[in-house]
């Protein structure tokens, strides 16, 4: 399985080879742990033989149990351990198998990790990485299918990143490990098998820079996390009916590169944000608001799409309605450009989620 564009997202080619998203993450961990003895990785089952779907495979053997270790199912306490270690000069990488579990440690993340640097007059740094897996899977239902990035985007002092490809997964993770602030890394599990050109040498995809993934003239489409891939598929459907869509990957959600998005929206006159979360008070709302504030152009037509306003159902037919897909992206764009035309729906067989057909779960 591969992402639509198998080349490096930013054209980097030195030492590049096709690598899976999950393997790019593992390579980032290994390279940073070799470079810096203060980096260690822990979390439930990181030393298991399945190794968090392979993202930590081989790390225990190379770095030992003092730097790669499992934890009890006690997210709040373990987050306190991570924050304390970071304040003491270590660089912990705390792994959560599901982002939903971060709700158990919100006080630690919001009231301690995010605020410590400010509260201690800049004397304290919290170089903490929090890994959190998101995404639909195989009917996991209400408590295991959420993406909570908008909650963390709301908090000053936290950085939030959602890489959509293997190249950015490695570069963003390295940048996160080297950052002196707490960083929430959101990894979509359905992206793990996707491939891209990834340089062997360590590199950073630094905070605050979005990427125009595909150019277009009629509408600006922003995809978050795996929605970048689905927006690219929607772009192909739209091209068949004469609509040219520009697709942008924000990569880092906080800090957010609003300038790149605003310039594109001002040029095309239309902006659609396809989120991997609910739309109310979500990342899409923030992006739309910032674009309108930045451009001052009320003529820009804006729309948001994301999860349906309900908890995620475990039933596959209902779950399919819950998540946006290339068809919902394409039909929404079509309605924005041609409001007087009859509603248009692409062929349903071409609108299934990119990895839905092949993904069978991690085990």
Positions marked active-site: 75, 144
132: DSSP letter: E
| Nearest CA among 150, 160, 197 for reference residue 3 | 197
341 alpha carbon, distance to own chain's centre: 35
What DSSP assignment string belongs to 97-117?
SSGGGGGGGHIIIIIIITTHH
Query: CA–CA separation, 55 vs 251, rounded Å?
Result: 20
The DSSP string of 16-55 is EEEEEHHHHHHHHHHHHHHH-TTEEEEETTTTSTTTGGGT
> DSSP secondary-structure letter at 124?
-
275 by DSSP, 3-state: which? Answer: strand
Cα separations in angstroms, 131 against 79, 291, 362: 12, 29, 17
Is the distance from CB of 235 to CB of 326 less than 8 angstroms? no
Give the end-to-end CA distance of the chain in Å, rounded to a whole number: 17
CA angle 344, 349, 352 (to 5 degrees): 95
Task: Tally Cβ neighbours within 10 Å of residue 335.
Answer: 13
Whole-angstrom CA distances from 111 to 34, 152, 312 are: 32, 12, 29
Beta-bridged to residue 197, according to DSSP, are 18
CB 162 within 8 Å of CB 224? yes
Which of the 8 DSSP states describes residue 249? Answer: E
- Tokens (6 digits) for 330: 């394409």
């Amino acid at each position: 399985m591969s992402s639509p564009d198998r080349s490096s997202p930013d054209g980097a080619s030195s030492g590049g080879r096709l690598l899976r998203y999950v393997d790019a993450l593992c390579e980032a961990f290994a390279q940073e742990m070799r470079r810096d003895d203060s980096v260690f990785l822990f979390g439930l089952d990181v030393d298991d033989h399945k190794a968090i779907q392979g993202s930590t495979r081989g790390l225990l053997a190379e770095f030992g149990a003092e730097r790669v270790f499992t934890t009890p199912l006690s997210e709040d306490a373990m987050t306190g351990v991570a924050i304390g270690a970071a304040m003491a000069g270590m660089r912990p990488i705390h792994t959560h198998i599901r982002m939903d579990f971060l709700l158990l440690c919100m006080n630690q993340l919001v009231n301690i990790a995010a605020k410590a640097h400010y509260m201690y007059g800049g004397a304290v740094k919290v170089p903490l990485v929090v890994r959190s897996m998101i995404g639909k899977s195989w009917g996991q239902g209400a408590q295991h299918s959420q993406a909570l990035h908008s909650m963390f985007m709301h908090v000053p002092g936290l950085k939030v990143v959602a890489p959509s490809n293997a190249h950015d997964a490695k570069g963003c993770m390295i940048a996160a490990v080297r950052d002196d602030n707490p960083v929430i890394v959101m990894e979509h599990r359905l992206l793990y098998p996707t491939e891209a050109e990834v340089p062997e040498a360590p590199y950073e995809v630094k905070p605050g820079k979005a990427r125009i993934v595909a150019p277009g003239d009629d509408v600006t489409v922003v995809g978050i996390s795996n929605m970048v891939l689905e927006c690219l598929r929607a772009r192909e459907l739209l091209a068949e009916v004469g609509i040219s869509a520009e697709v942008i990957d924000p990569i880092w959600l906080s800090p957010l590169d609003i300038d790149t998005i605003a310039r594109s929206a001002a040029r095309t006159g239309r902006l659609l944000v396809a989120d991997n979360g609910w739309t109310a008070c979500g990342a899409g709302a923030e992006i739309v608001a910032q674009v309108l504030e930045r451009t001052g152009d009320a003529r820009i037509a804006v729309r948001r799409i994301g999860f349906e306003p309900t908890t995620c159902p475990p039933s596959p037919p209902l779950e399919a309605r819950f998540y946006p897909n290339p068809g919902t992206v394409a039909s929404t764009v079509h309605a924005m450009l041609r409001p007087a035309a009859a509603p248009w729906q692409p062929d349903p067989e071409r609108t299934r989620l990119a990895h839905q057909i092949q993904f069978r779960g991690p085990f």
